[in-house]
């Protein structure tokens, strides 16, 4: 017997008058334009409930065939954070001392990055985004997920936006290779690390590079 079709419910669209729609989109842009990647974190605590809502928001992202191929590993334990930091720095030292090309290193110079990742220790929360290339059904049989990288990438964008919305800061950290994270967290074989995000407040003395984002004409083409 074929499975019944997915139950459908009415879509509750939220509508705004044109002027309000323009104002809301403008305000959201101006708010998001203040978002910056931060490397100097405060150890000030953040309520767990905030983190839970941030992750719930990430979980609203669209995904291929609605498979939701992600797991958000939330790390609070200081010993585990320190272990991950040491492993991450080990890989990063290899990157900075030989894996990265001279051009890559030169492009990183204005950002002031290096192999030291003390923010993993200092930030009160670490969120590791895991991607699941496949899942298992109730009978432990392998089932496919679809457009996994795209889906997890979108969810990560939702996650970063939600962090900023809460008045917090983060940094997208992608030590390569990242398999050591899955091993440290004892994750199943169908999960692979995608992104590591420290989450917290910026240190009071925090500074960020004086960068400019590309303007609208540089990032869009209109076909009218």
The per-residue pLDDT for 69 is 98
Supply the mean pLDDT for the chain.
Answer: 93
- Please spell the DSSP secondary structure of 89-153, one letter per residue: HHHHHHIIIIIS-HHHHHHHGGGT--S--THHHHSSEEEEEEEESEEE-TT--EEE-BSHHHHHH
pLDDT score of 3 more than 60: no
d(CA 34, CA 14): 26
Give the mean model confidence (pLDDT) for residues 59-71.
98
CA dihedral 100, 103, 109, 112 (to 10 degrees): -20
Q: Which residues contact 178 (CB under 8 A, 6 or more apart)?
A: 91, 192, 193, 194, 196
Per the DSSP assignment, residues forming a β-bridge with 184 are none
Give the mean model confidence (pLDDT) for residues 24-38.
97
Give burial (CB, 10 Å; 0-12/13-18/19+) of 94: middle
What are 120-170's pLDDT values in tens digits?
A: 999 999 999 999 999 998 888 999 999 999 999 999 999 999 999 999 999
The per-residue pLDDT for 39 is 93
Contact between residue 155 and residue 145 where contact means Cβ atoms under 8 Å apart: no
Residue reference for tokens 């990742």: 117
The per-residue pLDDT for 68 is 98
Cα-flanking dihedrals φ and ψ of residue 70, to 5°?
A: -140, 155
Q: Which residues contact 159 (CB under 8 A, 6 or more apart)?
A: 54, 55, 57, 58, 72, 127, 129, 197
The per-residue pLDDT for 91 is 85
| pTM of this structure | 0.91
């Amino acid at each position: 017997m074929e499975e019944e079709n997915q139950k459908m419910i009415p879509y509750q669209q939220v509508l705004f008058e044109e002027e309000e729609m323009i104002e809301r989109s403008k305000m959201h842009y101006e708010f998001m334009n203040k978002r910056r990647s931060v490397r100097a974190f405060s150890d000030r605590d953040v309520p767990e409930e905030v983190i839970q809502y941030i992750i719930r928001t990430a979980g609203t992202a669209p995904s291929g065939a609605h498979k939701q191929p992600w797991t958000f590993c939330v790390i609070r334990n200081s010993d585990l954070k320190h272990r991950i930091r040491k492993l991450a720095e080990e890989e990063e030292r290899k990157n900075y001392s030989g894996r990265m090309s001279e051009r890559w290193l030169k492009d990183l110079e204005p950002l002031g990055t290096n192999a030291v990742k003390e923010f993993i220790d200092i930030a009160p929360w670490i969120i590791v985004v895991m991607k699941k290339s496949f899942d298992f059904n109730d009978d432990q049989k392998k089932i496919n997920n679809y457009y996994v990288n795209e889906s997890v990438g979108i969810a990560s964008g939702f996650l970063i936006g939600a962090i900023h919305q809460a008045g917090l800061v983060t940094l997208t950290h992608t030590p390569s290779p990242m398999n050591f994270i899955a091993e440290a967290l004892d994750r199943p074989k169908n999960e692979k690390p995608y992104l590591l995000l420290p989450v917290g407040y910026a240190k009071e003395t925090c500074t960020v590079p004086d960068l400019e984002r590309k303007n609208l004409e540089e990032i869009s083409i209109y076909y009218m």
